[in-house]
Structure 1
Amino acid sequence: MAPHVLLIEDEPHIAEAIIFLLRRDGWQVTHLALGAGAVDQARILAPVLVILDQMLPDISGLDILTGLRADPATAHLPVLMLTARGHPRDREAAVRAGADRFMAKPFANAEMMAAVRALCARAIQTDPRPGAA
């Protein structure tokens, strides 16, 4: 079964591009356009990676990330944080909240796929769930 990625991104064109890239490479993708319920969905879906937009219309990506890290069922999930702003303070806030990697939009397709592959490979090797690795 293909590894599962949870994408939380409100910009339709960016979400569509990421979904296309991931599915073309064999990944299973669930997309949420809003952040409400994202932590619950991560718990239910048990993805190998979360790709999370920092600025969502209903809730901050940093708040979602804090929720993921606080929940024992999702605390181990690698999170790739995306943002339209590439300011150092945005990167620092994402890292402080627990992001494993930070990527500014726009990004190169190759850069996105390299980050996804690296984070997923690490997650599959270190997944603490019984029987996951």
Structure 2
Amino acid sequence: MADILLVEDNEMNRDMLGRRLERRGYSVVFAIDGPSGVAAAEQELPDLILMDIALGEMDGWEATRRIKANPKTAGIPVIALTAHALASDRERSVQVGCSDFDTKPVDMPRLLRKIEACLAANPAAA
């Protein structure tokens, strides 16, 4: 199965989502903020990144911009995760390079479909 980097600052969300992904066979690496997410993306080279948007001083959009600007990590698909379901959040996520967007609380079947679609569209993740 694929390697997923979960960038999430809320410990409860990180734990819950990480365990649910691991039960489905994914290998999950965690980062707790934008800077550590950018560093983990380069170090781990995961198949996919789940990026929380509300991360503090470096939000998920800025972290995604940096990941997409780095030739080493630019091809990794990123799915933005946010508690806000605004169209403007979805648009901004696409503008910074996210492959998809999903809302919290996480609907696991829907998120899994998005993860699988992103992985299938990314030949490097195969």
Q: Please, what TM-score do these two structures have when normalized by structure 1?
A: 0.88
Give the number of aligned pairs: 126
| SS of corresponding position for 1:6 | strand
Task: Please state how far the C-alpha of 1:41 moved relative to its aligned partner.
Answer: 1.4
Task: Please state how far the C-alpha of 1:107 moved relative to its aligned partner.
Answer: 2.4
Task: Please state how far the C-alpha of 1:13 moved relative to its aligned partner.
Answer: 2.2
Task: Please state how far the C-alpha of 1:60 moved relative to its aligned partner.
Answer: 0.8
Runs of 4+ with deviation above 3 angstroms: none
- In structure 1, what is the Cα distance between the partners aligned to 2:18 and 2:116? 14
> Amino acid of the residue matched to residue 4 of structure 2?
V
Larger radius of gyration: 1
- In structure 1, what is the Cα distance between the partners aligned to 2:68 and 2:33? 19
| SS of corresponding position for 1:31 | strand
Are residues 1:59 and 2:58 paired? Answer: yes
Aligned to 1:14: 13
Contact 2:6–2:31 (8 Å) recurs in 1 = yes
> Amino acid of the residue matched to residue 117 of structure 1?
E
Task: Please state how far the C-alpha of 1:33 moved relative to its aligned partner.
Answer: 1.4
- In structure 1, what is the Cα distance between the partners aligned to 2:117 and 2:19? 18
Contact 1:50–1:79 (8 Å) recurs in 2 = yes
- In structure 1, what is the Cα distance between the partners aligned to 2:12 and 2:103? 15
| SS of corresponding position for 1:112 | helix
| SS of corresponding position for 1:116 | helix
Aligned to 2:101: 102
Give the 5 Å matches for 1:1-133: 2-123=1-122, 125=123, 127=124
RMSD after superposition: 1.4
| SS of corresponding position for 1:93 | helix
Aligned-pair identity in percent equals 29
Query: Which structure has greater helix proportion?
Result: 2
Task: Please state how far the C-alpha of 1:37 moved relative to its aligned partner.
Answer: 3.0
Contact 1:36–1:58 (8 Å) recurs in 2 = no
Larger CA deviation: 52-61 vs 34-43: 34-43
